[in-house]
Amino acid sequence: MSKKRRIVSIVVFAVIFAALLVGIVLTSGASPASEEPIGEVMKDAVLHETGKINLLGIRINPGLVSAFSVSGIMILFALIIRIFVIPKFKLKPGRFQFLLEKAVGLFDGLAKENSPHKSHFIGGYIFSAGAYIFFSTLFELFGFQAVTVTGRPISLPAPLSDINGAIAMGVFSYGVILIGGLINNGFKGMFNALKDFSLPISMSFRLFGALLSGALVTELVYYYSLTSYVIPVLVGVLFTLLHAVIQAYVLTMLVSIFYGESSEPSRKKKRGKKI
Amino acid sequence: MPLNIDIQQILLHMLNFVILFAVGYFLLYNPIKKFMDKREKYYSDMDEEAEKKLSDSEKLRADYEEKLKELNSETERIKSDTLTEARAKADEMIKDAKAEASDIISSARAQGEAEKNDIIRSASDEIRELARSTAEKLITSENEDEYNKFLKSVEEADNGENE
């Protein structure tokens, strides 16, 4: 692209941008985009009391629909990769192979670092959990629509911004740590994990709080039409990306550390000879 | 329940994640990890083999150097032995040649002496014959006494020489 053409493109873009901004300010002011009051919108984003979805006769939160959707897509991709990509792996990796190996290597390294005695299983677990948290958080960016039982359309949120999803993830991870301690270290390992009984609550609510805060900020930004044009690009996308990376890292790191502690072989105390 | 917590939905979320975990673990993590381990083993084996070959070649080089050193010292020893032997042989040959030369000279001297004696004897005989013939000629031409006298003197001279 020549210099002249580049300048023309920038000027055209700036004029369109300015015209849009002016138009937004002149026409809407600070009026709400939704007829529902902001308090109600945010309460619904947290509790999903009104925006339920009917799935096979069960009234469920939209977060569960998101979870099923994300899992379905991920399982489909996993199958495609397993059937078509992994058998063609080469010693000198291509870009996609490098990406897959990097992801596996990242979680495997995290598992080996934090749980050096038993790292294979927990490596696989945090790989799946990390991928789930990352992709399910990014899922809300696509804004897939569903219809609630009241007939209102709703944008599918991140599965973990639903408190049930966050509790499921936290409790299941704690269960993995507990069972890991029991299998590797017997009841001593299990009791070692049991003493951190606050762990499932802290893990669940950390996930829930972090993802919910992102969702609430996005809801807030989208609520007023004045702030719903440019700012969501920065706030919504960046917050979501940051949450996806940070929460995936935090949960996988915590799980691997606690798993490492519970599965660590107990050291036998050396008794000194009595003189 | 408070905060819209629903046990059924929690269990559904868990079921969903268990399925996802199983798929992620068995379809992605395990095969990729296995491949990575296999590749790591392949390169570590290759590295180990190269190390082994290098150490073998170092050992071989040291052996060859040792052998070369031994060979050099053996060559030096053989060279020195050969030189000593050659010198001894040369000395012996010179000694033999000198002895032979001395023999040749002494035999030549003896032969020369004998030839000289022979020549002297034959010269004496010739002189005697010449004297006899001269005396005979004189006798036949002048007187016989003179001749006899002469013969007598010659015989006396011969006897004296023989003694």
Tokens encoding A274: 């009595």
Return the residue of A nearest to B41 by Cα.
A91
Q: Which CA distances in Å does A145 have to A16, A112, A157, A235, B97?
A: 29, 41, 9, 21, 127
At residue B77, the pLDDT reads 94
- Residue B88's pLDDT band, with cuts at 50, 70 and 90, is very high
User: Contacts for A69-73 with beta carbons within 8 Å, 24 or more apart?
Assistant: A69/A139, A69/A144, A69/A156, A70/A132, A70/A135, A70/A136, A70/A139, A70/A159, A71/A132, A71/B16, A71/B17, A71/B19, A71/B20, A73/A135
- Tens-place pLDDT, residues A201-233: 888 788 778 777 777 777 777 777 777 777 777
Q: Is residue B109 assigned to a domain?
A: yes
pLDDT at A25: 66
Q: Give the nearest partner residue to B10 out of A75, A129, A167, using CB atoms.
A: A167
At residue A28, the pLDDT reads: 57
A247 Cβ contact partners less than 8 Å away, ≥ 6 residues apart = A133, A137, A160, A206, A207, A210, A211
Asked whether residue B13 is assigned to any structural domain, the reply reads no
Task: Give tens-digit pLDDT for B11-58.
Answer: 999 999 999 999 999 999 999 999 999 999 999 999 999 999 999 999
| Radius of gyration of chain B from its Cα atoms, rounded to whole angstroms | 63
Check pLDDT > 70 for residue B7. Answer: yes
Tell me how many domains chain B contains: 1
Examine the pLDDT at B160 and tell me if it is beyond 70.
Answer: yes
Stretch B85-99: mean pLDDT, rounded? Answer: 95
Q: Could you tell me which residues come within 8 angstroms of residue A156 by beta carbon, excluding any fewer than 6 positions away? A: A62, A65, A66, A69, A139, A140, A143, A144, A145, A146
Which domain, by its residues, includes B112? 45-162
User: Is residue B37 assigned to a domain?
Assistant: no
pLDDT of residue B32: 95
Cross-chain Cβ contact B13/A64 below 8 Å: yes
Residue B25 lies in a domain: no
Per-residue pLDDT at A129 = 94
Cβ pair A85, A77 in contact under 8 A: no
Determine the straight-line distance between the first and last CA of chain B, rounded to whole angstroms: 175
CA atoms of A51 and A149, how far apart (whole Å): 7
pLDDT at position B27: 94
Q: State the nearest Cα–Cα gap between B51 and chain A, in angstroms.
A: 21
Q: How much is the pLDDT for B154?
A: 79
Pick from B18, B38, B42: which is nearest to B30 by CA?
B38
Mutate to test the interface with B, among A70, A164, A256 (most CBs of B within 10 A): A164
- CA angle, A184 then A186 then A189, to 5°: 75
Q: Is A32 left (phi over 0), alpha (psi -120 to 50) or beta?
A: beta
- The set of residues, in sequence order, having a beta carbon less than 8 Å from that of A159 and lying 6+ positions away, is A63, A64, A66, A67, A70, A136, A139, A165, B13
In total, the C-beta contacts within 8 angstroms joining chain A to chain B are 120
- Ranges of chain A whose pLDDT falls below 70: 1, 24-36, 48-50, 267-275
ipTM associated with this complex: 0.80
- What residues does B12 pair with on adjacent strands? none
Cα–Cα distance measured from residue A49 to residue A212, given in angstroms and rounded to the nearest whole number: 15
Check pLDDT > 80 for residue B92: yes
B66 burial (CB, 10 Å; 0-12 / 13-18 / 19+) is exposed
Residue with tokens 């199958």: A79
8 A C-beta contact, residue A115 and residue A259: yes
Selected residue of B28, B34, B35, B37 to mutate for chain A interface (largest A Cβ count, 10 A) = B28
Residue A64 to chain B, least CA–CA distance (Å): 7
Q: Do B33 and A123 touch (CB under 8 A)?
A: yes
Residue that the structure tokens 């359309």 belong to: A153
Residue B113 has pLDDT above 90, yes or no: yes
What whole-number distance in Å separates Cα of residue A178 and Cα of residue A259? 8
Say if residue B39 is exposed, middle or buried (CB neighbours under 10 Å; 0-12, 13-18, 19+).
middle
Task: Return the pLDDT at A6.
Answer: 86
For residues A164 and A61, is the Cβ–Cβ distance under 8 A?
A: yes
pLDDT computed for residue A269 by the predictor = 52
From CA A25, how far away is CA B71, in angstroms rounded?
Answer: 100
Residue B135, both tokens: 């005396």
Residue B122 in any domain: the answer is yes
Cβ distance A78 to B4 less than 8 Å, yes or no, reads no
Distance, CA of A253 to CA of A112 (rounded, Å): 11
Whose CA is closest to A108, among A93, A91, A120?
Answer: A120
Determine the average pLDDT of the residues in B140-158. Answer: 73
- DSSP-assigned beta bridge partners for residue A155: A145
Structure tokens at B136: 């005979």
